[in-house]
Structure 1
Amino acid sequence: MNLKSLDPRVTRLGIDESTDTQIIEKGNLDQFETYEAFIETKEGKPFEHAGPVHAPNEEMAFLFAKEQFSRRGMFCNALCVIKTENIKVSEYTDNNEDVYNLVNNRASGVERESFEIFHLAKRGKQHKYAGSVMAKDYEDALAKAKEDFQSDKPVFNVWVVKSEHVLASDEDDRDIWDTLKEKKYRDAIDYKASDKIKAFKEQQA
């Protein structure tokens, strides 16, 4: 009797149900790693989480994020990516409870590393960059962030990442948003759709 599946492609293979199937383990490089992309919509605005991308390395993640979240340079002044596994996540709170109220006072120790802090200030929204702190580890960075960034407005979740794990664009990367002259057709504004519609209506009048 042939194996039947919810996937008709499997059923069409005509696999004998009584045949022993060998389980094949996935290779280490079976899938790309996950990175989180952050964009700065305007100069001076805080970086905001845009979403995840999958890539073989951070350089490709940067390019994939550029294509996915800032095509043609629209609404993006700068971009950075962070490998998801390098982001330490605090507890989540609700009912206007500030997550910093769950953080202990700052641990003692030598402040020898720079960490970047991202806040979730509203449920359903994206994390935004709050600032950087110097600390000895992730827990100490969270406690230091409490000292520096806690306010009367509650924060529901905090992301902490070492500064060295952030790949950010700089002035030398500005040209990656430029559109080549011979590819201006990729910019919607060059279609001049409104002018063509107006001309068409005038012809029909």
Structure 2
Amino acid sequence: MLFSFDPRISRLELPEVPSLPTDKVALDQFPTYEVFHQRKENAAYAYVGPVHAPEADVAFLFAKEQFSRRFPCTGMWVVPTSAIKVTEYGDDQQSVYDRLPLLPADELGTAAATGQESYDIFHLKKRGKAHAHVGQVQAASPEAALQAAKAAFGDQRPVVNVWVIRSADLLRSDDEDRDMWTTTPDKKYREAISYKVQDRIDRFKQEG
């Protein structure tokens, strides 16, 4: 069955796309990147949608143009879709952490020996809403990160779905070498009032 982050697609139970013919040009479509948006300072980053791009820096540019020009935005994160570890979907009244299988002891031992790194955790609180960032954990694999997330955030309910992303895979607007607002230092998004549409309407009424 065709897998998609959009449950409406998964419910259609579409067959997997057949393999490409050998004479078809490879990569005729750009890969997808998922975009997270911060609407105001200190707010949690929330998922806003995907973009297609040839590489991460271009995906960030496309994300800025698509998701920050009409709405308040103080920060943005972009990550390749392939870099996201996704759990199964649970019930709106329960937590997917309750059904999370324990990582075997030998696998935990191997993971500890290889060293740990940061993973960002995103929760979906209700179907139809957006995944939101809840924090970071230290782990040696996405599977171990889920176990760490369960210990750190498992008391939050409900949790319908969890996304786990290695922090190093996230392209962040708050990186020292990336300022998404260099081209518009005085305004971080387009305000509708800037178009002065109502002024034009009032003037038209007066002239009529």
Name the TM tier (shorter chain): 0.7 to 0.9
How many pairs align?
A: 177
| Matching residue within 30, 42, 45 for 1:44 | 42
Change (3 A) 1:96 1:140: same
Is the Cα–Cα contact under 8 Å of residues 58 and 83 in structure 1 kept in the other structure? yes
Unaligned runs of 5+ in 1: 1-22
CA distance in 2 between partners of 1:41 and 1:197 (Å) = 30
1:4 counterpart residue number:
none
Counterparts of 1:1-205 in structure 2, within 5 Å, are 25-71=23-69, 74-105=71-102, 108-109=108-109, 110=112, 112-170=116-174, 172-176=178-182, 178=184, 188-204=192-208
Post-superposition shift, 1:94? 1.7
Post-superposition shift, 1:188? 4.1
Is the Cα–Cα contact under 8 Å of residues 92 and 126 in structure 2 kept in the other structure? no
Post-superposition shift, 1:105? 4.5
Is the Cα–Cα contact under 8 Å of residues 71 and 177 in structure 1 kept in the other structure? no
CA distance in 1 between partners of 2:92 and 2:202 (Å) = 52
Post-superposition shift, 1:200? 3.0
Unaligned runs of 5+ in 2: 1-20
Is the Cα–Cα contact under 8 Å of residues 92 and 125 in structure 2 kept in the other structure? no
CA distance in 1 between partners of 2:195 and 2:123 (Å) = 40
Post-superposition shift, 1:165? 0.3
Helix, strand or coil at the partner of 1:71: coil
The list of structure 1 runs, each at least 4 consecutive aligned residues, that deviate by more than 4 angstroms after superposition, is none
CA distance in 2 between partners of 1:121 and 1:80 (Å) = 20
CA distance in 1 between partners of 2:161 and 2:56 (Å) = 25
Q: Is 62-71 or 110-119 further displaced after alignment?
A: 110-119
CA distance in 1 between partners of 2:193 and 2:117 (Å) = 46
1:17 counterpart residue number:
none
CA distance in 2 between partners of 1:81 and 1:43 (Å) = 18
TM-score (structure 2 length as normaliser): 0.76
TM-score (structure 1 length as normaliser): 0.77
CA distance in 2 between partners of 1:174 and 1:36 (Å) = 17
CA distance in 1 between partners of 2:145 and 2:25 (Å) = 36
Helix, strand or coil at the partner of 1:61: helix
Is the Cα–Cα contact under 8 Å of residues 92 and 160 in structure 2 kept in the other structure? no
- Which AA in structure 2 matches 1:63? L
- Which AA in structure 1 matches 2:179? D
